Structure 1
Amino acid sequence: MSDACYVYGLVRADLSVPPDLTGLDGAPVELLTQEGLGALVSAAPTERPLGTRDDLFAHEQVVDSVAAVATVLPMRFGSVVERSAVMDELLAPHRDELVGSLDELDGHVQYTVKGRFQQDVVLREVILEDPEIARLRERVQGVPEEASYQDRLRLGELVVGALEDRGQREGRRMHEALSGLAAASVARPSGDPEQLLDSAFLVPRDRVEEFEQAVDRLGSETAGSVRFRLIGPLAPYDFVSAER
């Protein structure tokens, strides 16, 4: 029988794992501990390769369930090690670093906020705000595509440029407004001109309600033009070492 473990995340050794918490393939999650540190693990699948959507969902479900009540350092998806190596190669050699990370992140959770333009609404606003876009749009209406190719090309460039400028401007404003309620923040780049905000925020647990209300206010201020998605509370995926 294989002694391989799938490792979800690292926590303090005094964590009480919910008895009904299950991971990959429904395997029960347990805590392996050493010198004040613990690793959330379950039996690793041995008869199939890892990497399905269900595997990723199970990984995140375990980590985020624990993060709702305690500090957890998420492991990289797909981390499989021998049971003995959890203590000998993962916890013991890196104890000081792991304890330091847990201390730093204690009392915080991650929220991810995404903001996306409502295309029809924003396009109407862009047309009203930019005289050149309005003129070109009027010029190509009712004209065959071949006869108006250059104008349509220019119109598309102007619209994309206007969306990018507005998205960058509004995205920075929103990110800065929410960053004031967070201990740290990360703005993720996006190549989609309609995606104006995709940011992660490390929020103190005692400011969670205030942070959620701030996102609600942004939604009210931009009602009809931006659709927001608030994801969390989560484990601090964006605020731990990428090497783990």
Structure 2
Amino acid sequence: MSSPADTARYVYGLVSADTVLPDGLTGLGPSGQVWKMTCENVAAIVGDVPDDRRLGRRRHLMAHEAVVEAVAAESTILPMRFGAVITEEGVMTELLAPQHEYFAGVLEELDGRTQYTLKGHYDLEAVLPGIIQNDEGMRALHERIRGLSEEAAHFDRIQLGELIAQALKARRQQDAQDIVDALGPHVAVRKVYEPEQDGDVVNAAFLVERARQREFEDAVDEVAGRFPMLRLKLHGPLAPYDFVSAR
């Protein structure tokens, strides 16, 4: 028979020991309860796990995210990736006790800040005609193709496609840099990632002072107005997933 110390606990994230958890948190375990386990000045937010310990269901992921984001809305949290399970004893002896000073330092660094993510992609139907018309060589090639049969225009189409891809890449890089630079004065830290798909322009995470959230959101609206051929999606405020180093 297992002892209480061997009981599995699900870990949602780490907070300062004095953090007050929001009312109404519902965890992913059968009891739905969520509580803190504290070691000096750092605490782990934990709960029970499903009886079969299987965590692959969508409702489990949604419960995890709901707890993390509810805490993040009011306090600073170091979010754990979905699926973090450890014994009750391990929460103290393996997670908190050996690393509480490190965690406390990261929490202090992130205190008063929140994360936003910004993704944007081109409306290609709107942007491609402009790319062709603004380049004399591409414009001439495009006009020539229009007067040829599909077979006769085969190699010209390949050449035009390559030229468009090169021009689109150059424009994408410039637009992404302009967007990130425009938002730079309104953020504390930024991380820029490579685009994920063709047509994607910007994929970035920003750490923003809570006191400047509205200012940052207004800046994003202004940027969106400057780039009408871009579809920007702003998500946040969020827990600072992109600014927590794994350790």
What range is the shorter-chain TM-score in? over 0.9
Contact between 1:171 and 1:197, CA under 8 Å: does it hold in 2? yes
Query: For residues 61-114 of structure 1, what are the alpha-carbon distances to aligned partners after superposition, in whole Å with 9 as ceiling and x for unaligned?
Result: 221221111000011221110112111111111011000000100010011111
In structure 1, the partner of 2:15 is: 11
1:54-203 correspondence runs (5 A): 54-141=59-146, 143-203=148-208
In structure 1, the partner of 2:222 is: 217
In structure 2, the partner of 1:23 is: 27
In structure 2, the partner of 1:230 is: 234
- TM-score, structure 1 as length reference: 0.92
The aligned amino acid for 1:20 is G
**C-alpha distance in 2 between matches for 1:141 and 1:48:** 62
Q: Which runs of 5+ in 2 are unaligned?
A: none
Q: Sequence identity of aligned pairs in percent?
A: 45
Contact between 1:140 and 1:148, CA under 8 Å: does it hold in 2? yes
The secondary structure found in structure 1 opposite 2:108 is: helix
The secondary structure found in structure 1 opposite 2:71 is: helix
Structure 1 residues 214 and 142, CA, compared in 2 at 3 Å: closer, same or farther? same
Q: Which runs of 5+ in 1 are unaligned?
A: none
The secondary structure found in structure 1 opposite 2:44 is: strand
- Distance apart, 1:142 and its partner CA: 5.6
Structure 1 residues 48 and 142, CA, compared in 2 at 3 Å: closer, same or farther? farther
**C-alpha distance in 2 between matches for 1:48 and 1:147:** 62
Contact between 2:78 and 2:244, CA under 8 Å: does it hold in 1? yes
Structure 1 residues 138 and 81, CA, compared in 2 at 3 Å: closer, same or farther? same
- TM-score, structure 2 as length reference: 0.91
- Distance apart, 1:52 and its partner CA: 3.8
The secondary structure found in structure 1 opposite 2:98 is: coil
The aligned amino acid for 2:191 is V
| CA-based RMSD | 1.8
Number of residue pairs aligned between Structure 1 and Structure 2: 242
Query: For residues 23-52 of structure 1, what are the alpha-carbon distances to aligned partners after superposition, in whole Å with 9 as ceiling and x for unaligned?
Result: 325723222222121111121224253234
Query: For residues 3-30 of structure 1, what are the alpha-carbon distances to aligned partners after superposition, in whole Å with 9 as ceiling and x for unaligned?
Result: 2111111001222222311232572322
Contact between 2:29 and 2:48, CA under 8 Å: does it hold in 1? no
Structure 1 residues 154 and 12, CA, compared in 2 at 3 Å: closer, same or farther? same
- Distance apart, 1:154 and its partner CA: 1.1
